[in-house]
Structures are given as structure tokens and as C-alpha cells.
Amino acid sequence: MGIRVLLFFVGLTLGCNLSAEPPLQDKFLPLTIKNPDIQSAFTNPDSTSCFRIILPNFTASCLESIIPDFTFQNNDSIPGSSASKSEINKPLLRNLSIGVGTLYAGSIFGLYHLWYKDYPQSSFHFFNDNAEWLQVDKAGHATSAYYISMVGYETMSLTGVSNNKSALIGGSLGLVYLTTVEIFDGFSAGWGASPGDVIANVTGTAAFISQQLIWKEQRISFKWSYHPTEYAQYRPDLLGRNGIQRALKDYNGHTYWLSGNIKSFLPKESWFPAWLNIAAGYGGSGMIGAFSNPPSYEETALPIYERQRHYYLSPDIDLSKIKVNSKPVDFILKALSFVKIPMPTVRFDKDGVKFYPLYF
């Protein structure tokens, strides 16, 4: 589920402009309970009022209570003027908080209708799935939490909020978002909230926040790569029936990476290219079942595969370090920086060492 959530979230982010236009600004001002839009949403709710009005304004109000000297009012002074109390761009922070709240609510609404609505519900419960998929799925959860946390941080830092507050508040978005998904799982009869998933989500979020607090940059990034495998044809119900589904569901083809930026650990005057990284990866193969491989599927005997762990070492390219003059291109490069660029790779496993001239 982890990488599916990340790709879903990235798709929405690429498709949304979080900077609200003036009519949207007017619609949400002043952001208090006296707002007639919010009053109407509470007194005459419809199926979308929570996502259109209540939750975005609630997000804005939470930020107002957390950040000192900040209020969402019509009379906000312009940053840089004599009347301004801080360097925070208040109108931008207001609009971005509304945008993030809307994106969060809309994407959660979409996830619920895509993956949960048609399945039986139950009381909240836990399910131990730590032995599934050789823990490759847990690496996916950590990667998703890491990048959603990055979105939260980047959004807040654009407004002039300090690095530490942006890291602690915005960087918590990954954990908040994926915890919501775990709650959905907990109420689903066929699944359950996974303690292992929660630990992975905390790990990814903590990895982002800690680096931002210590180094004020991300020197070690989480990444993902995918290649088609032979296994999906035997279990299309689990591993996908077409190319897109298999890219999301076939963990045999997933590799998760920790990509270290070498130059960031060297003296500033170093000539070393800022975009060149070294990456260590983890993946698995031989999996045609979550916990173990079944002998047959739909009364057809299945091949016998050995479930194996694989470890990788490879150079990598940090797309976020590539300098371009176009803001849209720069945004797209950063949004796609979670993808490990195919490069020469060495694989280590119990069968020995194998070299790939180009590994996806």
C-alpha cells in the first residue's frame, strides 16, 4: 500500500496548484467559526462539505494557533511593511494551508472510495503483517512517509516559516497522512491496522525531520525503482493484471533505496558533482503470496519459487540538485526525485554477486 499511496499523492500534487486565486482567498476569509460558509457547512452539511470547507479551514486555524504572531484575518499586513510583525508571508501561508488541507482531505476521500468503500467494515482492530512480502512493503511505507513529509516541509518553508518549525510541523504530514490510511485499514474487515506499517511510517517521517533539523538539508534520501517480473502472471489478483497495477502491487519488481549525496558530506569547496549520489537498495523476489507461496491458484499448479532477499549498490542521480531556469521543470524534477535513476548496479544475495549494466 505504501508506494501506491505515495504515487497517488504525487499525482494529486502535480495536478494541483496550491496557491489559491483571489476568489478562493475571499471565500475563506475571515477564517473563524463566524464564517458563514463554515456555519452553513455545519448546519446544512452535504457529502462534500467537510472536504470543501471545514477541513481546509480547520487546517488553517491549527496553523494560526501553532505559529506565534500569526492570524488569518482580512487586515493582514504585507510582509516587509512597517506594520508587519514577522517575516512570514501570511497570505501565502494562509492559501497554502488551505491548499494542503484540501489536498489532504480530497486525497483521503479518493483513497477511501477507491480502496475501502466496497469492502466490509468492522470494529477497529490490528493485524500483524510483518512477515509479508519479505518486508519490502515496509520499505515502501517508509519511503512514502518520507516524501509526503517533504511536501509538508517545502510547503511551509515557502512562506518564510523557520526551518525548524517547517520541519517539525510540515514534516509531520507524512505520519499524519499515513496514520489516516492505517485507521481506514483498522476498520476494514479484510485488513487491520498494522503495527509494522506504523513503525515504518514513523521511520520515514523521523528520517526526514531529523536530517532537516541537524543538517538543514536532506543528505540521505529514500527512493524507489521498479522493473516488470515474471511472477505477476501467476497471481494477477495479488500482483496486478496490467502494467500499471503491477508497478504498484508486484513487490518482486520493487527496489527501495537509501541514496546518499556525496558532496554534502565533503568540504564546500569540493569539485565533486552535487547531483551524483551513491545508493544502497533492498528488494525481494520469488514472492507469489504475501506470507508464503501457494502450491496452486484457481486449480492450476504454480511453479515453485524460492523467496529471496536482495541487496544492491549503485550510483544515482539526485534530480533535485540539477539546476534549471524553468520553475515548472524544477518543480517536476523535485516531485519525481523519489524515483531511482537506472544506473549500473551490483546485486548481493545468498547466490553471490551479480552485475547489471543498467538496473531498474
Max Cα–Cα distance, the chain, nearest Å = 77
Residue 150 lies in a domain: no
Window from 252-266, 272-286, 326-340, 341-355 with minimum mean pLDDT: 326-340
Q: What is the pLDDT of residues 122-150, one digit of tens each?
A: 999 999 999 999 999 999 999 999 999 99
The count of structural domains within the chain is 1
Q: What is the pLDDT of residue 8?
A: 56
Residue 321 lies in a domain: yes
Q: What is the pLDDT of residues 72-111, one digit of tens each?
A: 433 333 333 333 344 888 888 888 888 888 888 988 888 8
Cβ within 8 Å of residue 244, ≥6 positions away? none
Sheet holding 220-226, edge to edge: 220-226, 254-261, 276-285, 308-317, 343-349, 352-359
CB 185 within 8 A of CB 226: no
| Nine cell digits for residue 11 | 499525482
Residue 61 lies in a domain: no
Reduce the DSSP state of residue 138 to 3 states and report it: helix
Q: What is the pLDDT of residue 3?
A: 66
Residue 5 lies in a domain: no
Higher-confidence position of 2 and 65: 2
Q: What DSSP letter does each residue of 205-264 carry, written as one string? A: HHHHHHHHHHTSS-SEEEEEEE---SGGGG-HHHH-SSHHHHHHH-GGGEEEEEEEESGG
Q: What is the mean pLDDT of the chain?
A: 83
Residue 274 lies in a domain: yes
Q: How far, in Å, are 94, 132, 164, 174, 333 from residue 18 at the CA level? A: 11, 37, 22, 17, 17
Residue 53 lies in a domain: no
User: CA-CA distance, 83 to 90, in Å (whole number)?
Assistant: 13
Residue 178 lies in a domain: no
Q: What is the pLDDT of residues 180-198, one digit of tens each?
A: 999 999 999 988 999 999 9
Q: What is the pLDDT of residues 274-285, one digit of tens each?
A: 999 999 999 999
User: Taking Cα atoms as reference points, which of 124, 148, 113, 112 lies closest to residue 2?
Assistant: 148
Residue 157 lies in a domain: no
User: CA-CA distance, 132 to 293, in Å (whole number)?
Assistant: 11
Q: What is the pLDDT of residues 228-240, one digit of tens each?
A: 999 999 999 999 9
Give percent of the chain with pLDDT exceeding 70: 76
Domain of residue 303, residue span? 229-360
Residue 330 identity (one-letter amino acid): D
Task: Please count the residues of the chain.
Answer: 360
